[in-house]
């Protein structure tokens, strides 16, 4: 028996295949023991060259495969609730890609199941909490040098959206990251949301409301605004400026490589999340493996996933109604105190 943590990866698409590579070649202390995808050809391709790994069409079969001790869920959001409940039924620790569950009712069922178990088993894949720039901003805000935060101005741009992307997904898929980051950076719940629609870009697919301007209110009286633009065409840009009583701080300005030639100064712009957040995913998965081997959950958990889904759901209602929508959260169970 290997002393490496045996992980079943559910879903072998963009994120799943990248996490398989990461578990196999980047992080220490883990190995890929099984992979599941209804497209078994894709699953087999993702694990090509890896020893002692089984390939399954069904997620449940991968959870029951030999050597599986933990689960990484990278299937589409609507498949997450069933996968989480199946993992909990087997007592398996989980790293679940965002969203925990797209609808808050489903997220609540997952939370109730974990509370019934009486111990935390799941972490949600909000990888920005592991990004070096976000970590510096968090530590600056927590240190108090800038004083009380008043506003966060956020930008979230993608080059283009996948073919099945809907107007609601700008809020509940893309902005779910800002929802979690704002809750974490400010240490406050988001209490209300309003979504404004500038004129849609002519580069956006027909009918897609893109960009959107999302405004959150927080329990501590701060405001968080997000420009989300998923067909901007020119780069993957994620930025955040915190404006506080005694100063401001900004991250996300792509300071990685600047090339100067006779034609001027040129700075690289990431093309997608796998590039922009590569280090953050590595740190996230390593931290999850380490915590899991120590029998703990240290990252964003089921309460964070539930809160993000509830806020996003209010956001979608705000987009549809054009009005301000209050966020309703159930009381936080003691398990997540």
DSSP string computed for 271-289: -SHHHHTHHHHHHHHHHHH
Q: Which does 11 bind (CB under 5 to 8 A by kind): ligand NAD, ligand INS, none?
A: ligand NAD
Contact 10, 39 (CB under 8 A): no
Shortest Å, Cβ 179 to ligand INS: 12
Return the residues of window 227-286 that contact ligand INS according to CB under 6 A.
230, 273
Q: Which does 271 bind (CB under 5 to 8 A by kind): ligand NAD, ligand INS, none?
A: none
Other beta carbons within 10 Å of 160: 14
C-alpha pair distances (Å), 233 with each of 21, 141, 160, 211, 305? 28, 32, 6, 12, 30
Farthest-apart Cα atoms in the chain, separation? 65
Q: Which stretch binds ligand INS (CB under 6 A): 171-179, 249-257, 315-323, 328-336?
A: 171-179
Q: Which stretch binds ligand INS (CB under 6 A): 51-59, 134-142, 169-177, 309-317?
A: 169-177
Q: Does residue 293 sit in helix, strand or coil?
A: helix
Please state, in angstroms and rounded to a whole number, the distance separating the CA atoms of residues 242 and 275: 24
* Contact call for residue 309 and ligand INS (CB under 6 A): no
Window 158-197: contact mask with ligand NAD (x via CB under 6 A): ---------------x------------------------
* Closer residue to ligand NAD, CB minimum distance, 146 or 214: 214
Please state, in angstroms and rounded to a whole number, the distance separating the CA atoms of residues 163 and 335: 39
* Contact call for residue 174 and ligand INS (CB under 6 A): yes
**Which residues form the interface with ligand INS (CB under 6 A)?**
158, 173-174, 177, 230, 273
């Amino acid at each position: 028996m290997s002393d490496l943590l045996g992980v079943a990866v559910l879903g072998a698409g963009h994120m799943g295949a990248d996490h398989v590579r990461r578990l196999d070649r980047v992080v220490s202390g883990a190995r890929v023991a099984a992979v599941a995808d209804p497209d078994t050809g894709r699953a087999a391709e993702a694990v090509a060259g890896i020893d002692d790994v089984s390939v399954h069409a069904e997620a449940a079969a991968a959870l029951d495969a030999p050597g599986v001790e933990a689960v990484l869920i990278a299937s589409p959001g609507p498949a997450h609730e069933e996968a989480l409940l199946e993992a909990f039924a087997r007592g398996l620790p989980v790293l679940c890609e965002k969203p925990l569950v797209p609808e808050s009712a489903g997220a609540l069922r997952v939370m109730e199941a974990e509370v019934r178990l009486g111990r935390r088993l799941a972490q949600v894949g909000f990888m920005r909490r592991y990004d070096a720039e976000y970590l510096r901003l968090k530590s600056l805000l927590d240190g108090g040098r800038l004083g009380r935060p008043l506003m966060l101005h956020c930008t979230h741009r993608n080059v283009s959206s996948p073919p099945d992307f809907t107007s609601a997904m700008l809020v509940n898929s893309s902005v779910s990251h800002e929802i979690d980051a704002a809750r974490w950076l400010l240490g406050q719940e988001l209490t209300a949301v309003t979504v404004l629609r500038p004129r849609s870009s002519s580069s956006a697919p027909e009918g897609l409301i893109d960009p959107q301007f999302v405004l959150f209110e927080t329990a501590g009286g701060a405001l968080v605004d997000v420009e989300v633009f998923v067909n901007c065409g020119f780069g993957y840009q994620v930025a955040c400026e915190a404006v506080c009583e005694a100063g401001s701080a900004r991250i996300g300005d792509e300071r990685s490589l600047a090339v100067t030639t006779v034609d001027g100064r040129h700075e690289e712009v990431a093309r997608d999340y796998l590039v922009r957040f590569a280090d953050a995913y590595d740190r996230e998965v390593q931290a999850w493996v380490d915590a899991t081997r120590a029998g703990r959950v240290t990252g964003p958990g089921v309460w964070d996933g539930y809160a993000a889904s509830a806020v996003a759901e209010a956001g979608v209602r705000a987009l549809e109604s054009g009005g301000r929508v209050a966020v309703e959260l159930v009381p936080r169970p003691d398990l997540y105190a």
